[in-house]
């Protein structure tokens, strides 16, 4: 298995996916959820789904965000990807989500 190969999408769609993923991960962090060094994609699907990202889009959305997405063998997990975030990416996501909450208030 290797690194996830993203589908070809328009720049507008890529921007939308990146923004939604940023908000979803920011919300996940803001809720006090633990972010492990390497996480199974399944742990993030609820947060991503709340921001309109389907499970099929999730690996690409997270990759656009700057996370490292690695495919693992399908016998290991239903959603066979592991995700690694840098501290910078997590901080950026949290700031984006906090700004989003301020604007929505």
Q: H-helix or E-strand containing 48?
A: helix 45-50
Mean pLDDT of the region 32-61: 93
Q: How much is the pLDDT for 18?
A: 96
Under a CB-based contact definition with an 8 Å cutoff, are residues 62 and 79 in contact? no
Residue 49's pLDDT band (cuts 50, 70, 90): very high
* Res. 50: pLDDT tops 50: yes
Tokens representing 51? 């921001």
Mean pLDDT of the region 2-9: 60
Q: How much is the pLDDT for 1?
A: 47
- β pairing state of 68-71 and 39-40: unpaired
Domains of the chain: 11-104 (1.10.10)
């Amino acid at each position: 298995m290797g690194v996830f190969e993203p589908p070809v999408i328009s720049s507008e769609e890529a921007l939308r996916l990146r923004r939604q993923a940023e908000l979803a991960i920011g919300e996940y962090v803001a809720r006090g959820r633990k972010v492990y060094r390497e996480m199974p994609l399944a742990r993030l699907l609820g947060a991503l789904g709340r921001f309109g990202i389907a499970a099929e889009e999730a690996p690409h959305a997270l990759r656009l965000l700057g996370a490292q997405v690695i495919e693992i063998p399908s016998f290991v997990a239903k959603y066979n990807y592991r995700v690694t975030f840098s501290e910078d990416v997590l901080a950026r996501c949290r700031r984006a989500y906090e700004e989003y909450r301020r604007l929505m208030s």
